[in-house]
Chains A and B, each alone.
Chain A
Amino acid sequence: MIAFLIKRLYHALLVMFVISIIAFAIQDNLGDPIQQMVGQSVPESEREALREELGLNDPFLVQYLRFAGNAVQFDFGYSYTFNQPTTEVILRHLPATLELVAASTFLIIALSVPIGVYSAIRPRAWLSRFFMGVSIIGISIPVFLTAIVLIQIFAIGVSLSPFPADTGWGAWLNEALSTDGGMPAYGRGDPVNVFGTWDSNFASLEGLTYLVLPAVSLASIMLPLFIRLIRAEMLEVLQSEYVKFARAKGISLRRIYFIHALKNTMLPVITVGGVQIGTLVAYTILTETVFQWPGMGLMFLNAIQRSDVPLIVTYLMIVGLIFVITNTLVDLIYGLVNPTVKLTGKPA
């Protein structure tokens, strides 16, 4: 166990080292940060002075070693646009992103398990077919579009009148198709401060209303995938010998489905799920942009637009770290669910 964790720590350092090298190597293609920091009429001499001051004229290796030397002491430099240490900027944006990811994860788990299991147990029921159909659509719609559609329907509202409004049934159908909107279209509102720099949307009912649309959009990417994964795994498990044997023995169906079968179904799902949480963090870039959700993703996109290299490098390294951590946690949980798995430092 200890050896396993040490090995993972070593992995994390390696990942962050590689990311920092790559991010540093591409910085010249990210554009000139000076251009973003000065007005159009600033003469070249001033720009050059600023470039020199920021050390942008030094050779790649010198710049990288300076960065790495500071990074070892947890100093990742100053953001060009926020004029603050990048770690501070990211820590301030982190809670918003984590809350969004947590809410989506909750939605995904709460919906995918019952739907997946149901459609495996009753594969030919019309409800199962409906879920499968919707999930196909869900997979193929980009998150950006989902978000815009959600905003249009639930924030702005739509009024449709395809049916004759002067008849009673027509008016009723029109009414049913139209929405008033009213959900917040952007941002986090006024989140309640929990402690330090952590403002939470979970702490108030109003905060939750701000969370709903972004969380649903973000969940829409993974939800269909998980429903299909759970359904497929469950179907396979239900065909297996031990389930047949259990049935033959007369064990109650409920017990077979939810204790024996579901447990074995969840093993591969947990593996995939852990990796996907990291991916969800990456997808927050799109969701946060559309909803102007003030988290790390939105911050990262702005940093790219302004060529804020120190912030970009730090963000990428932290997301890399999140990937390593979630993978480690997944392996630990996997061990709990399936005790035959041994966590060792050696390759199996």
Chain B
Amino acid sequence: MTFKKTLLASVIGAAMTTAVLPSVASAETSLRMAYDADPVSLDIHEQLSGGILQLSHMSFDPLVRWNKDLSFEPRLATDWEQVDDTTMRMTLRDDVTFHSGNAFSAEDVVWTIERLKRSPDFKAIFEPIASVTAVDDTTVEITTTKPYPLLLNLATYVFPMDSAFYGGTDEDGDPKDEIVKNGNSFASTHLSGTGPYVVTERQQGVRIAFERFDDYWDEASPGNVDEIVMTPISENATRVAALLSGDVDFIAPVPPNDLERVREDEDVQLVTMSGTRIIFFHMNQERVEAFQDPRVRQAFAYAVNQEGIADRLMKGFATPAAQFSPDGYAGHVADLELRYDLERAKELMAEAGYEDGFEITMMAPNNRYVNDAKIAQAVAAMLARINVTVDLKTLPKAQYWGEYDDRAADMMMIGWHADTEDSANFHEYLTACPDPDTGAGQYNAGNYCNPELDKLVAEANLEVDLEKRAEMLQQVEQTLYDEAAFVPLHWQDLAWASAANVDIEPVLNVMNFPYLGDLVIHEE
């Protein structure tokens, strides 16, 4: 009897050990993460969007990348020097291989930049580049048509692609390097970069799986994650639930309504950061005569309580703004203050002859920015106090942008993040005199126009002395403030959360491109 029991026990024990052992032996560090959306394509030149750039940083490497403090960190380019006003020479790493096994060389950089100049989404920002030449295997020279101060900013967008892999034609006879917006292309389903992760599986909208690239050049990187599975979870509540239940280890973004819940949970950690996306209202001077009077615009700027919105509506999840440029940008003017002052606003309205106010229409999206519709309601209520009656309409983003392009209301909300991480970009798209031919002022729904500022920004974009350039951009920001060109609200904060043993803090940054190649997961 006892013998039988012992035998039984040892059999069960053996079975259990064999069942448990394999998983211990192959203990790979894996990260399960959930973003609100997945990249639309594997072709990193198909669309200029956050999702694509996040993918780029996982499967490719840029020439240089941003540090946490918005300075540049060498990646595939180890060194750079300005040869003359229009030429920059970059030295490249010589020990880099692509996922396909091909060796990385200067030719790949040339090929990539030429492809970027053909991409509908990227060509505008690569416009200043005249030519790129490979001097030798590890040196490239980038020439611009005019002196251009933002070449390094552009270099953060250059993720060298494997020119041999993307060369030639596919089975259908189409060139493998073609960029197709609507339809399948070789590049939208195949990928070979130099980055830390190789894409192993992709089901669009369901999951995308990565595995650490064995021959990754950056051996100094502390990153220890062997595989990553990314699931898009667009529903805020579900994304948070997936983290809290331990189904995923890392989520972004964390919705403001759940911040407290996430912060209080001991098993997870929350990281927040002031962002660089400015949320503001345009006042359309073409539709409303009163907006042509700077005093009226100032009155509006004085009437809006940005701090109240940031504190109460956004629950502290926003940084109140008085200008476009966040701290760290060249044009940021430190002493521009929030100017909520209801009395002053009323005075200005009276001075301008609008004591009794007037009626305006207002539009805002209701699913694009955090609390966008609620913010618009709050602003409408604040304007009522200076006798302005607001007829507010909020729309889902799919419908909103068409209305925005038509300038369909007197005041319209927009949020903007500068693709170049530079102050000039704000002015060029948002407050420059609209010009359909050059694309200047494409999103200037206020029709604000000050040719002097346009000239100043154009000059700044030719100024290679960065300090001098910053002064010029600060002058632009100051003028926009003085003339109340728009009603600034806040910079939207960013929030990520992860399981306690996933050390996300060091790899996060204000651009929202987590450098997952450097991510460390501690043993539990």
Contact = CB atoms under 8 A, between A and B. Distances in A.
A305 interface: yes
Contacts of A306: 398
Given A38-B47, A83-B184, A294 B120 contact: no
A157 interface: yes
Contact of B204 (A30, A41, A82, A290): A82
B439 interface: yes
B182 A186 contact: no
Contact of B121 (A42, A45, A182): A42
Interface in B468-520: none
Interface string B378-403: 00000000000000000011111110
B6 interface: no
Which of the listed residues B188, B206, B367 has the most CB atoms from chain A within 10 Å of its own CB? B206
B136 interface: no
B329 interface: no
B399 A29 contact: yes
Interface string A34-62: 01111111111110011001100000000
Contact of A185 (B205, B242, B367, B416): B242
Contacts of B247: 155, 184-186
Contact of B442 (A29, A43, A305): A43
Contact of A41 (B207, B399, B419, B436): B419
B235 A42 contact: no
Contacts of B464: none
B41 interface: yes
A194 to B, nearest CB: 16
A307 interface: yes
B121 A39 contact: yes
Contacts of B336: none
A292 B234 CA distance: 8
A7 to B, nearest CB: 38
Most buried by A among B48, B205, B401, B436: B205
B239 to A, nearest CB: 8
A151 interface: yes
Nearest to A291: B238
A156 B241 contact: yes
Interface stretch (A222-230, A242-250, A273-281, A296-304): A296-304
Interface in B412-448: 416, 419, 429, 436, 439, 442-443
Given A42-B121, A181-B245, 18 more contacts: A31-B398, A32-B398, A37-B181, A39-B49, A40-B419, A78-B182, A83-B41, A83-B180, A151-B238, A151-B241, A152-B241, A155-B241, A184-B245, A186-B34, A289-B235, A292-B232, A305-B396, A305-B397
Interface of A: 29-32, 35-46, 49-50, 53-54, 78, 80-84, 148, 151-152, 155-157, 181-187, 289-292, 294, 298-299, 302, 304-307
Interface of B: 34, 40-41, 47-49, 120-121, 123-125, 180-184, 188, 203-207, 231-235, 237-238, 241-242, 244-245, 247, 367, 396-402, 405, 416, 419, 429, 436, 439, 442-443
19 contacts: A31-B398, A31-B400, A32-B405, A36-B398, A39-B47, A40-B416, A41-B442, A42-B124, A46-B123, A50-B181, A84-B184, A148-B241, A151-B238, A186-B34, A186-B233, A289-B238, A294-B205, A298-B205, A305-B398
8 smallest A-B Cβ distances: which pairs? A31-B398, A39-B48, A43-B439, A155-B245, A294-B206, A35-B401, A46-B120, A185-B245
